[in-house]
Amino acid sequence: MAQIPVYVPAAVAAAVFFALGWVLARRRGERLHGHSTAACDRLFADAQKEATAVVKAAELSAREEAYQARARFEAETETVRRESRSRQEALDRREDSLDKKSSLVDQKEARLVQQEEDLRRRLGDADLVHAAAALALKQQTERLEQIAGMTAERACQTLMENMISEARHAAARSVQQVREETERSAKREAVKILSLAVQRYAAEHVAETTVSVVDLPSDDMKGRIIGRDGRNIRAFEQATGIDVIIDDTPNAVVVSGFDPVRREVARLSLDILVRDGRIHPARIEEVVQRSGEELRERIREAGEQACLELGLKNVNSELFPYIGRLHYRTSYGQNLLKHSAEVAAVAGVIASELGLDPKLARRCGFLHDVGKAADHEFEGPHAVIGARLCKKFGEDATVVNAVGGHHQDVEASSPYTYITAAADAVSASRPGARRESVDSYVERLEHLEKIAESFEGVEKSYAIQAGREVRVMVNHTKVSDAEAALLAEEVSRRIEAELEYPGQIRIMVIRETRATAVAR
């Protein structure tokens, strides 16, 4: 008997297990299918019930919304109907009003037509009256021309000339009255401000001498200054450019020269030589050079110190030597540096009283004469030179104009120019500020009187109050009252053109009428 392989029983067992599993799975599937079908039927029945309920709820909601919409529509319709009725009533009332206005317009138009006809008729009557009046005026004009002996055009021209003359005369009186009132008030105010400025700046008199004298320990030193055959004095005068005057004055020599800075260098050098005792040409040149350098530094420090004392800020350092040089210059005996400081103080007070900037006014017043320190370096008036220096060293345009215009060399462009000129006049004309020699004083008075007497109609003139006032006596038969005012102006202009003087000069023209009768 043949032997059965081992895998055959295993395969048969597997097939049996597979068949048994398939049967069991099928039966399980059929049971599950039955359960699923029953569940689906139950779900379908429930869904039908829910759908029926939803449909009924939707129908009820739709009916409710339809009912509400109908109610809203009826309410809106009723509102529109009421508005339409009110608008219709308003339109009816407006139509009635327009009908009434139309009837009124028709009535007014009828009245206007009637009035227009009346106006045409009256215009025609007015034309007739105008023509008659023109004819009557022409006849009257012709008659007046015959009576007056001139034409109507000539009469109109004469009348216009008379009216123009009267108007000019009245205007001249008004202008003269306003001018007199303005001058009186301005003079009062100016005197008040200037007096206040002078009182607030109560400075000492600044008139100084310009003679430089060097004291000597003994008269024997005069011989050493002269040197053998005069070589020392010649070397000294050549090195300094200054004359040395040696006379009989005991223990003193005088240095003389037009340049005050060189004169000061000569004085310092001679003082050093006298104290040192070694006087010879080489030593003289050395001392003069060292004194010049020392004086230049001293001048620069003096300018800087003056600016600090006045509170002037941002002044260009190149301007300090010119300012310091003013200390060694005088005008009619008045020290220019002290004069500049005084002008600055007075200008500051005036500016404060006028509501302007006192710092700017002080700056203008202090620098107004800086051109006098460089007038030998440039050509032109010292005011123009000073303005050129201020502009060169970066000063403000207002300062430049005030410096250049304080003597009217350039046109004033700001009130600070007039303030500077006024302060300069106050400082120069106050008593004791300046001094002039007797000869020049007498010559100036004679020149004033000569200028006044050169005009026609002047009988005699008198210069009084140290030449600050000129009284002019005129012949009343040759000079009228109006011409007297004109004569005063002409004399003042002539004096301004021909003379140089500090301050101002007042011209008073006196016209007197005398009537004489004798009772017998």
Are residues 339 and 456 both part of a single domain? no
Instruction: Give the CA distances from residue 75 to residues 64, 65, 85, 395, in Å, rounded to whole numbers and listed in that order.
Output: 17, 15, 15, 91
378 close to 396: Cβ distance less than 8 angstroms: no
337 and 247 in a single domain? The answer is yes
What is the model's pLDDT at position 457? 87
- Residue 108, burial from CB neighbour count under 10 angstroms (0-12, 13-18, 19+): exposed
Tokens of 5: 């392989």
For residues 388 and 380, the model is more confident at 388
Q: What's the pTM value of the predicted model, to 2 decimals?
A: 0.48
Provide the 3-class DSSP secondary structure of residue 268.
helix
Supply the pLDDT for residue 175: 65
The arithmetic mean of pLDDT across residues 104-127, rounded, is: 88
Determine the angle formed by the axes of helices 382-392 and 397-405, rounding to 10 degrees.
Answer: 170
Say if strands 252-256 and 212-215 run parallel, antiparallel, or are unpaired: antiparallel
Question: Is there a contact between 399 and 360 (Cβ–Cβ < 8 Å)?
Answer: yes
Amino acid letter, 46? D
Does the pLDDT of residue 338 top 50, yes or no? Answer: yes
Please state, in angstroms and rounded to a whole number, the distance separating the CA atoms of residues 142 and 148.
Answer: 10
Contacts of 240 (CB under 8 A, 6+ apart): 255, 257, 262, 265, 266, 269, 288
Share of the chain above pLDDT 70, in %: 83
pLDDT of residue 1: 45
Q: Both 483 and 420 in a single domain?
A: no
Q: What is the DSSP letter of 327?
A: G
Q: Is 480 exposed, middle or buried (0-12, 13-18, 19+ CB in 10 A)?
A: middle
CB atoms within 10 A of CB 33: 10
Within this chain, do residues 444 and 314 fall inside the same structural domain, yes or no?
no
| Shared domain check, 396 and 290 | yes
Q: Judge if 232 and 362 occupy the same domain.
A: yes
Residue-level pLDDT at 206:
43
Give the per-residue pLDDT at 99.
86
Please report, for residues 57, 167, 170, the alpha-carbon distance to residue 158 in angstroms, rounded to integers and kept in the order given: 117, 14, 18
Q: Distance between CA atoms of 244 and 213, rounded to whole angstroms?
A: 10
Q: Is residue 376 part of a domain?
A: yes
Residue 473 has pLDDT above 60, yes or no: yes
331 sits in which H/E element: strand 330-331
pLDDT of res. 208? 44
Rounded Cα distance, 332 and 323, in Å: 19
Please count the structural domains in the chain.
3
User: Helix/strand/coil (H, E, C) string of 137-183?
Assistant: HHHHHHHHHHHHCCCHHHHHHHHHHHHHHHHHHHHHHHHHHHHHHHH
CATH number of the domain bearing residue 473: 3.30.300.20
The verdict on 275 and 411 lying in the same domain is yes
Last residue of a domain, one of 76, 110, 144: 110
- Mean pLDDT in residue range 38-56: 83
Angle at 202 between CA 199 and CA 204, to 5 degrees: 150
Q: Are 382 and 372 in contact (CB under 8 A)?
A: yes
Query: Which pLDDT tens digit goes with each residue over 220-264?
Result: 787 888 888 888 888 888 888 888 888 777 878 888 877 777 888
In angstroms, the first-to-last Cα distance of the chain is 221
List pLDDT tens digits, range 48-94.
888 888 888 888 888 888 888 888 888 888 898 888 888 888 888 88
Q: Which of 339-348, 472-481, 498-507 shows the lowest per-residue confidence on average (mean pLDDT)?
A: 498-507
- For residue 88 the two structure tokens come to 């219709």
pLDDT of 447 strictly over 60:
yes
Question: Residue 207 — pLDDT band, cuts 50, 70, 90?
Answer: very low
The two structure tokens encoding residue 327: 């200390």
Statement to judge: residues 472 and 327 lie in one domain = no
Q: Which domain holds residue 14?
A: 10-110
156 domain-assigned: no
CA nearest neighbour of 474 among 489, 464, 463, 488:
488
**CA count, 13 A, side-chain hemisphere, 185:** 5
Task: Tell me whether residue 81 is in a domain.
Answer: yes
Residue 484 lies in a domain: yes
In this structure, the number of other CB atoms found within 10 A of the CB of residue 509 comes to 25
What is the amino acid identity at position 368? H
Q: What is the pLDDT of residue 38?
A: 77
CATH number, position 346: 1.10.3210
Share of the chain above pLDDT 90, in %: 1
In a domain, 182, yes or no: no
Confidence grade of residue 183 (pLDDT, cut at 50, 70, 90): low
- Using alpha carbons, select from 322, 326, 341 the residue that is nearest to residue 393: 322
Average pLDDT over residues 146-172: 71
- On whether the CB atoms of residues 436 and 500 are closer than 8 A, the answer is no
Place of tokens 């050098």: 269
Does 225 reside within a domain? yes
Segment 120-148, tens digit of pLDDT = 888 888 888 888 888 887 787 777 767 76
366 and 465 belong to one structural domain = no
Given a cut of 70, is residue 434 above it in pLDDT? Answer: no
Given this model, what pLDDT does residue 406 score? 84
- Assess if residue 231 is contained within a domain: yes
* pLDDT band, very low/low/confident/very high, at 179 (cuts 50, 70, 90): low
The answer on pLDDT for 399 being more than 80 is yes
Mean pLDDT confidence for 194-221:
59
Task: Tokens for 506, please give them.
Answer: 């007042």
Residue where a domain stops, chosen among 110, 141, 156: 110
Which residues, 6+ apart, have CB-to-CB distance to 364 below 8 Å? 347, 398, 399, 402, 403, 416, 417, 419, 420
Q: Are residues 412 and 281 in the same domain?
A: yes
Residues 330 and 451 in one domain: no
352 near 362, Cβ under 8 Å? no
Residue 364 domain flag = yes
Same domain, 352 and 474: no
Domain boundary among 363, 397, 429: 429
Q: Is the pLDDT of residue 519 over 70?
A: yes
Do the beta carbons of residue 417 and residue 439 sit within 8 Å? no
Q: Are 288 and 265 in contact (CB under 8 A)?
A: yes
Which pLDDT belongs to residue 401?
A: 92
The answer for residues whose C-beta is within 8 angstroms of residue 200's C-beta and 6 or more apart is 345, 349
